[in-house]
Chain A
Amino acid sequence: MSTSTVTPELRKTPLYAVHRQMGAKMVDFGGWDMPVEYSGLISEHMAVRTGVGLFDVSHMGDIQLRGPESLNAIQHLCMNDAAKLEGGQAQYSAMLYPQGTFVDDVIVHKLSDNDYLIVINAGTREKDYSWVKTNAQKFHCHVSDYSDYYTQLAIQGPKAAETLQKLTKVDLSTIKFYHFKWGTVCGLPNTLIARTGYTGEDGFEIYIPSDEATSKRVWEEVLEAGKEFGILPCGLGARNTLRLESALSLYGHEISETINVFEAGLDRFCKLEKGPFIGSEALQSVIAEGGPTRKLVGLEMVDRGIARDGYGVFNESGVQIGSVVSGSPAPFLKKNIALAFIPKDYSALDRQLFVQVRNSMVKAKMVPIPFYRRPKKQS
């Protein structure tokens, strides 16, 4: 087998030294030197599904739009309808190119009237910021990049609320999914506590000052608070398998500058009826021309073999009809799953397809996505 090593000029989060000290394996992720796993990907994945896990997601970016026309700017830049947001509410959305494909997917937080925070992906930070800056120019609003001001921690899993509750007086049960509040966390006043995440579980993301000492202290306090629930620090490896089981999009895979909203199956977050925005015209023509020609589907491997990113998808006659964009073993489901783009007319579930795994054709079938849905709360 062969191995690769991390190149030196990568960016680091304020918790870099902590990750190293904890023995994390590091990996280059979009130009960032990030932990890929600590104790092991499978155990970290399972901790989030059954208990709680802690992620350093400080590589994510934060752009704030402030001013009397900030809502207009957001509406112009993003496909979801931000006018529906109340203060303290967040929304999954995306910024599109004029051709209806993706600049990035984002979470829009309405901090208050005339004040919005957009959380963006790590690999697209610079591109996103200049995109927002350029396209918000004609509106009376101020665009600021706060990415380096915050350490962002994600506390995820069915025991996330109980864990974080020990560290704050804010009653977390009053924060609904995709809502947020400010409060004191680990003695830090005015901390943004959002009930958001990228794992398919209940959980929170908190935004704390990015100095190393504070970041380390809060990281350790969360781990201590979650100890009784078997908390594990989790790396990007588990983050990826968790989001894949939940069929959440990853930039460069299910969404990209060559994939449009309908192909990605994100129609429900795209509100053409709110009025024109960047990309809306192109999407209207896609509809007028009969809809997208390909679609994102879930595959489950029937025979032994693991589908990986980029592998070809074939029909019964051996004709290639598409390719896998994300494929991996699913640690909680204990199946080998994949997301793939295939022609729209291959839509019947349970339809038999094949994935070319190196030299052999391995049987797969289409299954509904998400592959995993978290159980409804008992109480």
Chain B
Amino acid sequence: MAYPANYRYTREHEWIEIDGKTGKIGITDYAQNSLGDIVFVESPKVGAAVKKGEVFGSVESVKAVSDLYSPITGTVTEVNEELVSAPEKINTDAHASWIMKVELSDPAEVETLLSAADYEKFIAEETGK
């Protein structure tokens, strides 16, 4: 699975796609694969404040719950309602299944996130352990 070069990534396995002052956020293919069949996505409410590195929701597979960490600080402008009834879409295409859109408070934060190449190096180390 290719990691889109225009996305940025976290070590907690989230991705963000920046479009001007807003970012679309989801979990990586590596994350969906280690979770297994995803059955539940808990998203924040529109208008909620999220902070870089802090929990904004969770995803649950049949066997486990995993916290979601925001890659960025800002305000939630939209959540992907489709994932309420069809959370398995994350398994089918993790990089197209965004969970929330955030209006960035500090676009400079993006620079601290991993590039696709760095993220791929990071997961290669994780799996090689």
A residues adjacent to B (C-beta < 8 A): 1-3, 5, 25, 36-37, 40-42, 237, 240-241, 304-306, 308, 328-329, 331, 358
Contact = CB atoms under 8 A, between A and B. Distances in A.
Contacts of A304: 40
15 contacts: A1-B67, A1-B68, A2-B66, A5-B126, A25-B36, A36-B63, A40-B37, A41-B61, A240-B63, A306-B39, A306-B60, A328-B63, A329-B40, A358-B58, A358-B65
Contacts, number: 57
Given A1-B12, A305-B40, 15 more contacts: A1-B27, A1-B31, A1-B68, A3-B31, A3-B126, A5-B129, A25-B34, A41-B37, A41-B62, A41-B63, A42-B62, A240-B63, A306-B39, A306-B60, A329-B40
A329 B36 CA distance: 13
A135 to B, nearest CB: 36
Nearest to A237: B63
Contacts of B34: 3, 25
Closest 5 CB pairs between A and B? A1-B66, A42-B37, A41-B62, A329-B39, A3-B34
Nearest to A8: B129
Interface string B3-35: 000000000111000000000000100010011
Contacts of B27: 1
Contacts of A308: 65
Contacts of B59: 1
Chain B at the A interface: SS class: strand
Contacts of B58: 358
A306 B13 contact: no
B119 interface: no
Contacts of B13: 1-3
B129 to A, nearest CB: 5
